[in-house]
Each structure stands twice: as C-alpha cells, then as structure tokens.
Structure 1
Amino acid sequence: MQPPLRAGILGGGFMAEVHARAIWAAGSEVVLIASSSPDSSARAADRLGIDGIAPSARALIESDAVDVIHVCTPNAFHSEQAGLALLAGKPVVCEKPLATLVSDAEELVSRARISGTPTAVPFIYRYYPAVREIRSRISDGSAGEMHLLHGSYLQDWLALPTATNWRVDETVGGSSRAFADIGVHWCDLMEFVTGHRITRLVSALSRSHPERGATEDAASILFETDRGASGTLIASQITHGRKNRLHFSFDGELESYRWNQERPGKFTASNQSIETTIYPGSAELAARSSQSLAHLPAGHPRGYQDAFNAFTADAYSSFQGQSVDGLPTFVDGLRAAIITDAVLTSAQSGRWIDVASPTDGIPAVPHNSRGVLDAAPTQ
C-alpha cells in the first residue's frame, strides 16, 4: 500500500477550504499553505488547521515535504503557479480557468505531456451520481440521437451594483467573468455527459453594472455540435434567487433528461408517454460509475463537497498510477479556455466562431525554454 500523498495549497480563500476538506477525505494530509501575505497565510492555516506555512508559492512548490500542489489562487496566477509545479515534477490540481490565455493553457498541456506529470482540474459536477447515470443512458443509446442540449448556470451573488470581488477586476480575474467562472462548468458537463463537442457558437455578453468593470455579468450562447445537435446556454451571476443553479435538459429522439444541481438528489427521464423522477441511490442506478458515487440509499442526496471529495479521490488515485474514469485534466482546462476565447471573440465580432479541438495547435515544445516566471503572489 502506497503512503498518503502530502499536499500543499496555494491560496487561502473559500476554494482552499473546499480543497483541504477533500484532501483529508481522500486520506491524505495538507502539510503546507501559502496565501497572499504572511498574515493571510497564518489566518488560513489557523482556520483550516494546517500546521505548516510556506513563505512563498515557490517555496511551497519546491518543498520536499509536499507531493501534490493545489492551485486555488486568483485566476491571473494559475498558469504561472501550475507551470512551476510541472517544472518541479509534482502532480498539480489547478482551479479553472487553467489560464486566462489560450496560449498559456496550451503551454501547460504541452509541459504536462512532455514531463508525464499527472494533472487535474476540478470540473466536479461530473461527480454526481445522477450525472454519471444520465451519461451512461445516453451512451448506451437509451435516448437515441441527441438533438437539443440546453440549460443555464445561474447565480445571484453579484446581482447588486455594490457587490464586488477580485473576479470583477480584469487584470486579476481575466477577460471573461460569468462565462469563464461558471459557463465553462456547464459546457464541460454537457460535453462529458453527451459525448458531443461544441464546434461552432455565437454569443452575446451583457453588463448590468458597468461601473464594476469590463467583464460580463451574463453570457448567452447558441451552439452547434459535432454530432448535429444544437443548444443554448445562459450563464448569469445577477439572477436573484439562484444561488448556484446549474440546470440542463438533454433532449434525444427517444428520451430527455433533466437535472438541477441545486436539487442534486434526483433527475427526470421523460418520453412522450411518461416522466419518471429518479432518486439516485445505490439500488436505483444501473451504471457502475454512478453506483460507485451513490453510497447512500435514495433520498439521501450527495452535495457539492461530496462531489469535490470524489473528484479529489480520483485525482489522487490517478497521481499514484491508477486508472480512473472521467477525471478532468489540463486538457479539459485547455478545452474550457478555447471555448471561452471563442465566446469572447464572437461577442466582439457579432459572428459565429468555429471552436477548435483541444489538440489543435498545441505546440510540441513549450513556448519558451524557461517556461514560467517567478511565482506571483498568492491569495
């Protein structure tokens, strides 16, 4: 039996806490943390019960006490810190966006491939039992050909003009906010569940509170897929009453499937004659991948932290050489960056934009021989 992996976390905010809980649930330990300042690091370490504090991101990454790096800092620092982890030869879990520029995400994928270093990106909505069950039913042909793929991801935490966060600052959060923050989750989930890939899209971005900066409050997307389906997505952070509502309806020629992340303990399967509500429990699910995530009887739903724990357990199994199904990696992070770039380009031009495959244009060697610069401050 291999010894538990030892983790270091860059960042001290909400996501750092989620990562820490998931690491512990996976049977590993968090040995070091580094945030944006010594005081911030000390507060985070005290809040999370972590004994070790690193003086900088580089010191944490290069520490012999750390086996795995978790990047939970603001978006602008992700690619640099993930790149340092790859240069150190350490498996890395990097929050999305993997990078705010497609070229930086391409470089990270290239470096990971060249070095053989395992990676993961927390597209954790893949890890709900209902999601895996719907994926299995679509894959086995129960729905027939998929025709219409539609849904939304709605939040309200930035609904008021006075609300703010580092994400609204383009220099820290990147050129896209609502889509890059939550829209990419929906797109990743749609492609993972249905097996369809977005090939073309047209988008419109809106800002309800212009005084808050240049990034969008909401995004509306119309898309086409490689298998002939069409779809729509609305991503919004200004929809009152919706705290974290990721919803989809995937409509095939024989059946449609609907799921709402705010009510994760059930999904519906419908045809013209009947609509069935299914409450995922270990005895109610047909797919082995969904059964493995449903540890409790029906009516005992798994939530966000449970899904994150399952993702982290898979990531750590992968880091130790095991094969796992459906683990999102840096390639999926690059895919999200490519779709985000297409959304921004379409909104600026008012035209349909082709969406490249993640393997198109990835350089065979890194963009520069040094790779990344010295580590940026963490937060």
Structure 2
Amino acid sequence: MCKNKIKAAVVGGGFIGKQHIEAIRRIPNAEVVAIVETTIERAKTIAEQYHIPNYYDNEDELFALEGIDVIHVCTPNFLHYEMAKKALEHDMNVFCEKPLSLSAEQSQALVDIASMSTGLHAVNLNYRSNVMVREMREQVINKKIGNLLLVQASYIQDWLMYDTDYDWHFVPDMVGASRAVADIGSHAFDLIQFISGQKITDVFADLIKVYPKRKESKEERETFSEVVSDNYEEVAVQNEDAAFIIAKLEDGTKVSITISQVTGGHKNDIEVCMSGSKQSITWKQEHADRLYIGKRNRGNELLYADAKYVSDKAKRFIALPNGHAVGWADAFKNSIQEFYLAIEDKDNKELDYVDFYKGHYLMKLIEACIESNKTQTWIHVK
C-alpha cells in the first residue's frame, strides 16, 4: 500500500491536459508536480496558472525528476505511442489518453513492452467510470433485465458540423486512419463491452465523409474552440465524420452503433440502451446521474444516483447525495482515481480500468471498421 502522496506529471497542456490537471487535484493524496508542453513558454504559463512546481519542453526530463509516480499522456494521438513506450521502458506508471496509438501494430508493440515492465498502464475511457454506468453493468451482468436481446448505442456531436471546422484531428499522420470512430467510437465500443461483460467480436461499418473538402484556418485553435477567419485554405478530407456500425457480441447478441461529429444541437450526446427479456435499461451521458428503466406492462422507472439505490459495487463512485447532479468531470476524476487506487494497492482485484491490453483490442476494433468499410463485409476480430 502506497502511503505517500501520488505525484503526477502531465504531458500536454491543451484542452484535455487541463482536464487531467483539474481532475488530479480533486483526488485525495495526489498532486501534479510537473507539466510538459511544446515550448518552455507554454509550459511556464500553465505551471504558473496551476501552481505546478516543475515545467519542461521535453518529456525526457521527467525521468530525471525524482519521485514521479505516474505520467499522464495528454498529447495529440500521434505522440501517444512514443511517450507511453518511454514511460513503460522506465518502469513508470502511465495513464494515456485514447486512442492508445495510431494503429493496432503500435498498440501491440506497447502491449509487448507492458508485459515486461513493472509499470502499471491505463487508457482513459472515462465514461465507464460514471456511477450509473457501473450500476447498469451490475444489472446486466446479474440479469436483472433478463436475458440480453439487443444493444443500441450512439455518440453524437456537432463540433465539426461546419466546413470551416478544421484542426489537427483531420490530419491522418496525427490521428491515424480513423477520426470519428477512433475519437468517439472507441468510447461507445468500451461502454458496450464493459456494460455487457462481453467483447465485440464482429463488425460491419459504413464510414461517412460529409465534406470532401474543409476550410483550414491559418489561425491557431484549441479543440472545441471557435475560430472565425477569412484567412483559410481548402484541404481535402481524408477521414470520416460519421459512421453507421452493426456488430455482434461474443454470445451473438446484435448491436447497432451510430457515430457522428456533424449533427447540430448534440454537444456530447452518448446513449446506450440494453434491451433485456424483462426490461430495458438506458443511460444518457447528458443526464449522467440517472438510468431509464423501460417496462412492458407497468410504469417506467427513473433511477437516480444515490447510495441508497445502487448496488454495492457502484456505491464507491458516488461522492454527492441524490439531487446534486454528477457529470462528465466526476466520471473523469473517477477514471483517474481508479488507476491511482491500483498504484496504491496492486493487489486490489475490485478495480476495473482500461489497461493497454483492452486499449489494444479497441484499436483492433477501429481497424476492423476501416477494413469493413473498404470491403463492405463483416470483419471478425480476435
């Protein structure tokens, strides 16, 4: 059991890096002691803003800093592999943003390195750390909804709806061959597998590009920021804006998944519905503190996040009483804290986070969708 404060270093100080910093600061017995950015000036600005004592423009300097317990990789996708690799080779614990890498070949290499490293490893699939997702899993696994009949899921956004929406997510060298499926489809895959307790084994995917070309602004922008400029150039779009995916679980249960980053009015709209032979159960991320339980011959139920209402395994994810809404930031903190609990006690078998082995399987699902779209056939994933 670790008795000392967990000291974290964050590599990348953009939108998601700042969320990591703020989440870590909400965790008891944890602190951010170092930040790495592309320039020393950017690193210093973030360090001063968050009162972080050490700042660098090179992640290699972290390995000379005494006392670091965990490295958070919060960079654009193309840097995930190399930084996670370095951390594992130094036997460091590493918490990496998703997707784990640009390809299944890279993620396989990380799995191989992880098998020889003493460092723990995790990929941030934070939605599974919502208390009501945990409750949903318990109800499905314990057949409270009966036998699983169907699974329906969607992840719909609008932040890339206009042809002027363009940033590094459109550059294959920075994100890999997939955008929407890798970026948000990976969350849908993880939720389905986690809640059902089964792997997705087969996929049939139709990947959709709504604009052949987009307008790249010459002004720098951060993810989800609004930049309106007449100074742009048209760039050919190489990755998908949306996807329609059908899939199968290990027991043959059929799954449908809708992915979109171009649907107006949907900001971060995730929905998962498990249809059972007794009742259905639905979770919606934009109403994260409740479950919708659908009945056939009596009134439907609305189950709120409160320790009185949920199973014992879900209770530890609750920090607030009923009526105090929980949401995205709470699940994000829970995701990191689950990994930190493993760092403190490696023998704790109750913990359930996405390690690099699970992250590698998600990469195989993403590539299977790409292959299915090309061949218009079902692709089996092993």
Asked if structure 2 preserves the Cα contact closer than 8 Å seen for 1:200 and 1:352, the reply is yes
Shift, 1:203, TM fit: 0.3
**RMSD value over aligned CA atoms?**
1.3
Number of the residue aligned with 2:303: 278
Indicate the SS of the match to 1:243: coil
- Taking a change above 3 Å as real, the CA distance of residues 116 and 66 of structure 1, as seen in their structure-2 partners, is closer
Number of the residue aligned with 2:374: 348
- Specify which of 96, 99, 115 is matched with residue 97 of structure 1: 99
Shift, 1:166, TM fit: 1.1
Indicate the SS of the match to 1:15: helix
Instruction: Determine if the alignment matches structure 1 residue 217 to structure 2 residue 244.
Output: no
Number of the residue aligned with 1:10: 11
Shift, 1:65, TM fit: 4.1
Shift, 1:144, TM fit: 1.9
Asked if structure 1 preserves the Cα contact closer than 8 Å seen for 2:85 and 2:110, the reply is yes
Residues 61-70 or 3-12, more deviating:
61-70
**How many residues align structurally?**
355
1:110 maps to amino acid: D
- Taking a change above 3 Å as real, the CA distance of residues 194 and 309 of structure 1, as seen in their structure-2 partners, is same
Number of the residue aligned with 2:312: 288
Q: Which has the higher contact order (CA 8 A, sep 6+)?
A: 1
Residues 295-304 or 273-282, more deviating:
295-304
Number of the residue aligned with 1:302: 326
Asked if structure 2 preserves the Cα contact closer than 8 Å seen for 1:198 and 1:224, the reply is yes
- Specify which of 45, 54, 57 is matched with residue 56 of structure 2: 54
| Cα distance in structure 1, aligned partners of 2:264 and 2:149 | 31
After superposition, the C-alpha distances for 1:154-211 in whole angstroms (9 at most, x for unaligned) are 1111101101121111111111110100011011011101112211111011111221
Number of the residue aligned with 1:180: 182
Indicate the SS of the match to 2:38: coil
- Specify which of 52, 69, 78 is matched with residue 76 of structure 1: 78
Asked if structure 1 preserves the Cα contact closer than 8 Å seen for 2:93 and 2:121, the reply is yes
After superposition, the C-alpha distances for 1:54-105 in whole angstroms (9 at most, x for unaligned) are 2301112442242211000000010100000001111000001111110110
- Moved runs in structure 1, 4+ residues, more than 3 A? none
- Taking a change above 3 Å as real, the CA distance of residues 189 and 62 of structure 1, as seen in their structure-2 partners, is farther
Number of the residue aligned with 1:367: none
Shift, 1:6, TM fit: 1.1
Instruction: Determine if the alignment matches structure 1 residue 330 to structure 2 residue 356.
Output: yes
Identity across aligned pairs (percent)? 31
2:302 maps to amino acid: T
After TM superposition, list the pairs within 5 Å mapping 1:353-372 onto structure 2: 353-356=379-382
Indicate the SS of the match to 1:248: strand
Any unmatched runs of 5+ in structure 2? 215-236
Instruction: Determine if the alignment matches structure 1 residue 257 to structure 2 residue 258.
Output: no
- Specify which of 35, 38, 56 is matched with residue 36 of structure 1: 38
Number of the residue aligned with 2:232: none
| Cα distance in structure 2, aligned partners of 1:116 and 1:251 | 41
2:321 maps to amino acid: P
Indicate the SS of the match to 1:25: coil
1:251 maps to amino acid: S
Asked if structure 2 preserves the Cα contact closer than 8 Å seen for 1:34 and 1:57, the reply is yes
When normalised by structure 1's length, the TM-score is 0.91
| Cα distance in structure 1, aligned partners of 2:249 and 2:257 | 13
Any unmatched runs of 5+ in structure 1? 357-379
- Taking a change above 3 Å as real, the CA distance of residues 49 and 210 of structure 1, as seen in their structure-2 partners, is farther
| Cα distance in structure 1, aligned partners of 2:208 and 2:155 | 15
Shift, 1:36, TM fit: 1.4
Instruction: Determine if the alignment matches structure 1 residue 311 to structure 2 residue 347.
Output: no
Number of the residue aligned with 2:24: 23
Indicate the SS of the match to 2:369: helix
Number of the residue aligned with 1:203: 205
| Cα distance in structure 1, aligned partners of 2:23 and 2:328 | 11
